[in-house]
């Protein structure tokens, strides 16, 4: 059985193109964290090329962007081609059949604002995400 389930973040906006037959094709790279095995070891990630077709590709174009945290369900497909130097290049891609959002849009916007402020040394107000009792809500 050839099934794959991944959760990760897009490294860039999806690239959308149309086939000669008019089918949408979306291509993007998903950064998937590897589990940390030893304390103090830096996080590592695998960068996995994902391809979707048709309605799934149209979904990518409409809803996904760089930094989106998504779950993908699909299958692995291998292939090869000959590059301009005559060398054979082998490929491994995930053909995505469905996507699942793994965070809310509001949470992502807060995270991006905090990241930008952290890199600039500015103060970030989180008052928009706090209820009357002073407790964060989700």
Tally of CB atoms within 10 A around 28:
24
| Domain 4-102 part of CATH 3.40.50.2000 | no
**Model pLDDT for residues 20-62, shown as the tens digit of each residue:** 999 999 999 999 998 876 777 777 899 999 999 999 999 999 9
Tally of CB atoms within 10 A around 103:
13
Q: Which residues of the chain does CATH 2.40.50.140 include?
A: 4-102
Distance CA 122, CA 135 (A): 23
Answer whether 0.85 is exceeded by the pTM.
no
**Model pLDDT for residues 69-124, shown as the tens digit of each residue:** 999 999 999 999 999 999 999 999 999 999 998 887 666 555 555 555 555 555 54
Q: Which residues contact 131 (CB under 8 A, 6 or more apart)?
A: 137
How many angstroms separate the first and last alpha carbons of the chain? 38
């Amino acid at each position: 059985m050839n099934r794959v389930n991944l959760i990760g973040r897009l490294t860039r906006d999806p690239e959308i193109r149309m086939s000669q037959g008019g089918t949408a094709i979306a291509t993007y790279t998903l950064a998937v964290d590897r589990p940390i095995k030893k304390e103090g070891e830096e996080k590592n990630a695998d960068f996995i090329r994902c391809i979707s077709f048709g309605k799934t590709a149209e979904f990518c174009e409409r809803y996904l962007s760089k930094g989106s945290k998504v779950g993908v369900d699909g299958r692995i497909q291998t292939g090869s081609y000959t590059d301009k130097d005559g060398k054979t290049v082998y490929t491994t891609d995930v053909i995505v059949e469905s996507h699942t959002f793994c965070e809310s849009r509001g949470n992502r916007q807060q995270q991006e604002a905090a990241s930008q402020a952290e890199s600039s040394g500015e103060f970030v107000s989180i008052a928009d995400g706090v209820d009357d009792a002073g407790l964060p809500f989700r």
